[in-house]
Chains A and B, each alone.
Chain A
Amino acid sequence: MGELKNRYDVLVIGGGIAGMQASLDLGEQGYKVLLVEKDPSIGGIMVGLNKVFPTLDCSSCICTPRMAETAHHRNITIQSYTEIEKVEKKGRGFSVKLLEKPRYVVLEDCIGCSLCEYECPVDVPHEYDYDLGARRAIYIPHANAIPQVAVLDVEHCTFCGKCVKVCPTDCIDYTQEARHLDLEVGAVVVASGTTITPMGAKKEYGGDKLANVMNPLAMERVQSSNGPYGHILRPSDGKVPKSIAYVQCAGSRDKTLGISYCSRVCCMYALKQAILTKAYGDVDITIYHMDIRAFGKGFEQFYRRAMNDGINIVKAKVAKITEDEEKNPIVRIEMIDDDGRVEEVKHDLVILSQGLVPKWHPDGQLPAEEDTDGFFRIPDSKIHPTVSTTDGIFIAGVAAGPKDIPDAIIEAGSAAMEAAIYLESGKGAPVAV
């Protein structure tokens, strides 16, 4: 990290697993890389997942070493908590304008001790735990954050000054302001990733108003030992759920939402979460689906394992979710296979398998086109699956379309290689000529 230079070979946008992998592959080849992440920490979605399908390895145990390697690489500079303002073609390279948001904490001096966080009097819903848990107005983003540095959310600050009094390194700087940065790069790798469709998108599923209808990323946090509850509990009253339902395609393959594609990972993450919850013991789990798509290596076996573990896989379309007076979700289903009968089933907790949508729409901030589905357009996807519509801009990971972690990593390697070839061919150079 440290002082920012104004020329890099490659700008990587997004510090998820794909952006980190592309940065490492380029850094290892000797290219100078600037990795820009808009959040206070790198890691993307993966660092917050509990375990990964189909191996059930601990996700952060795989992701955090990769984060540390990226942060310590001599050829990689991480610029976190920074937004892209504009990337423009300029000569053989790109001119880049960045906006570094104020943390109100001096990055180089903070030792991540959390004393400020413990002293702060305001509890705020924590984005990292999808609002189920709390953080303070000044906080370390999460236990595995890199950089492990506090950030002050000034919107929730009471200006009591307690944090500065307790800080052992005097690193809190209330006078910080947003900083505009201008630089030049030779090529760009976009790895801006994904988010899930909004909870409220499907009004018939409660429109984000039902306390015990949860999004799947929140469930990942609930299942994590360092998650908001430390146990699998439901949010309305802390009950240990005895009956859990997954509603598949709750935001994909759904023309009413304008999302006609399959999000590719939902069947597998639902099966994964079901297997892991079932391992806790006495719980009945049902997955309502249109069809299970278990296409990857080891995925079919994983699906079979779920059935052998006693997970109920029910081919039914969920028409509606309501709740009773105890906030138990009532799921109205229409069977697909059987006689098409309609049933209402009571569960303690429902997880909507929401689809993946692009995290970032550049909207003129970057000269690369989007496709009709909103992900970046790859004009020659069979032969050059990471080459965008603009010379010198390459796309990696879910920014190009839904995929799982191994595929995102493979694509990141490919994007890095394409960027290296581009620079070596002399087409791209960080110095504007």
Chain B
Amino acid sequence: MAEKETSPIKVLRDRHGGMSDKLKAYFKDQNQIRKKMKDSLKGGAKTVPEIARDTGLESPDVMWHVMAMKRYGDVLEAGRSGDYYKYELKGDS
């Protein structure tokens, strides 16, 4: 298959003045949070409060990122511990 033309992205980037500083910070934050969460989950399945304790992240943030990771197939539900579901990394994440 011929390589696809990607240069129109430059048109879009130029038109919008590139990534805003706000988005850059948001994206950097997202990647750092995900790394911490993945490292924590490498130790086994955990609940949201357990991941929050382990990583020092705020629990509402952990909750949002766990659900985002679940939606896009990075984590799976792994049973329950009392009133909380546990989450584990999907094999290839």
Contacts and interface: CB of A to CB of B under 8 A. Distances in A.
Interface residues of A, number: 37
Nearest to A177: B15
Interface string A222-249: 0000001111010111111010000000
Interface of A, helix, strand, loop or mixed by DSSP: loop
A237 B49 contact: yes
Contact of A157 (B12, B62, B85): B12
Interface residues of B, number: 36
Interface string A123-143: 101000000111010000000
B68 A236 contact: no
A122 B4 contact: no
Given A161-B9, A164-B9, A175-B12, A122 B27 contact: yes
B85 A233 contact: yes
Contacts of A239: 83-84
Contacts of B48: 237-238
Interface in B43-65: 47-49, 52, 59-60, 62-65
Interface of B, helix, strand, loop or mixed by DSSP: helix
A156 interface: yes
Q: What 10 pairs between A and B have smallest CB-CB spacing?
A: A134-B68, A174-B12, A238-B48, A174-B8, A159-B13, A161-B9, A161-B6, A123-B68, A237-B59, A240-B83
Given A233-B63, A327-B59, 20 more contacts: A121-B27, A123-B72, A132-B64, A134-B72, A154-B12, A154-B16, A155-B20, A159-B19, A161-B9, A164-B4, A164-B9, A230-B70, A230-B77, A235-B60, A237-B48, A237-B59, A237-B62, A238-B63, A238-B85, A327-B60
24 contacts: A121-B27, A136-B72, A156-B23, A157-B19, A158-B19, A158-B23, A159-B9, A159-B13, A159-B18, A159-B19, A161-B9, A164-B4, A165-B4, A174-B9, A175-B12, A229-B67, A236-B59, A237-B63, A238-B47, A238-B84, A238-B85, A239-B83, A239-B84, A242-B83
